[in-house]
Amino acid sequence: MTRLFFLHLPILLLWTLFKLVEGTDSSYHDQVVRDFLKEDQGSGHTNNWAVLVCSSRYWFNYRHMANTLGMYRTVKRLGIPDSNIILMLADDVSCNARNRFPASVYSNGRRNLDLYGENIEVDYRGYEVTVENFLRLLTGRVEPSVPRSKRLLTDEKSNVFVYMTGHGGAEFLKFQDNEEISAFDIADAFEQMWQKKRYHEIFFMIDTCQANTMYSKFYSPNILATGSSELGESSYSYENDADIGVAVIDRYTHLVLSYLENINKTSRSTMQQLFDAYDFNRMRSHAGVRTDLFKRDPSKVLLTEFFGGIAQADVVAAEDVIDAQRFVDQSSSGRVALNLQQAAERGEVTAILPQGLVLARNLDNFTRTWVAAVCIMVLITLSYFLG
């Protein structure tokens, strides 16, 4: 019996050594996680939202609806789900009697891409698109009866992309050709959002005549803003469709969408690269950028930090987890979140499980090394006596 025990002991020790080496190899993955976190921790946000507004009515403003739907398609393609997109269309040209292509909206004369499609979710339509509703949406001051799909459910970790298009002038934008929103109104709404911790960072983009004046009154922190034209300049249409009979997209939005079409969810393209692509010869106006309220360098801000989706991973300690699925079920919120960056710096991260949990190592490298050394010494001793 004793000899049988000693014959099996080397197998047990070899298995122990294998597991220790396997754990040591995981340190490489830990370093990869740490490097990734250090590289992408710049923003510190956990979710992205988009508010897309077409404020114009009537058939001859077809291009404004195409502008907005083009931006809607892009942010969805890059990963922002419909639940995080608020789409406001002041008119529905897809169902207009003058539309030769019913239930469709196109942004070029070739009509090779239907922007309306089958998966569009319009949150505010027609006469629901008002200055009051837009401001209530931003500030969260909505009636209790308003459904979740019409609420901007952001928090202090939310990056918010706000896109607006329509007819405007010096420090105003028309809604429904009936009322106006001023640069002061939007500036004050953003300040309320900041005070109520409703955003982490905002990227504001507007395509209208004299667009750059609309962000001139902003005074809240962490806002990056851009517009299609300077004070006294018009924002021009890009292409007409003879069958539709009107212009189908504006020059500025066309340039932006063309640039974004070349990036994907994992793109490393930055905001500054987008701004550098602005070309007066293509837009016929001087697009502007305001960065003084934004604490980060646009050359280090990825486009996907505002146009793309965000995936999250939570960190838990291994000693707190016996059964990962049972742990998730027992958690009141469905998951327990710790600081991923701190865990990586402490060398505790090993793997991301399908359940979304990141488990930690039980043994540090120092302890693992000593255990391995003891196992090797025992194996050498056994081989000597059993040899």
Which residues 6+ apart lie within 8 Å of 170 measured at CB? 210, 213, 231
Q: Strands 288-290, 357-360: parallel, antiparallel or unpaired by DSSP?
A: unpaired
Q: Strand (E) positions, 104-157?
A: 124-125
Is residue 207 within 8 A of residue 253, CB to CB? The reply is: yes
Apex CA 126: angle with CA 217 and CA 86, to 5°? 55
CA distance 94 to 73: 16
DSSP class of 239: E
CA distance 247 to 249: 6
Is residue 195 within 8 A of residue 230, CB to CB? The reply is: no
274 closest CA partner among 230, 229, 306: 306
Apex CA 120: angle with CA 117 and CA 123, to 5°? 150
DSSP class of 270: B
CA distance 154 to 347: 32
CA distances from residue 142 to 39, 139, 145, 147, 326 in whole angstroms, order as listed: 38, 8, 8, 10, 38
Q: How is residue 225 written in tokens?
A: 């803003």
* Residue numbers annotated as active site: 167, 209
Is residue 47 within 8 A of residue 73, CB to CB? The reply is: no
Other residues' Cβ atoms within 10 Å of the Cβ of residue 41: 11
Q: How is residue 142 written in tokens?
A: 């909505």
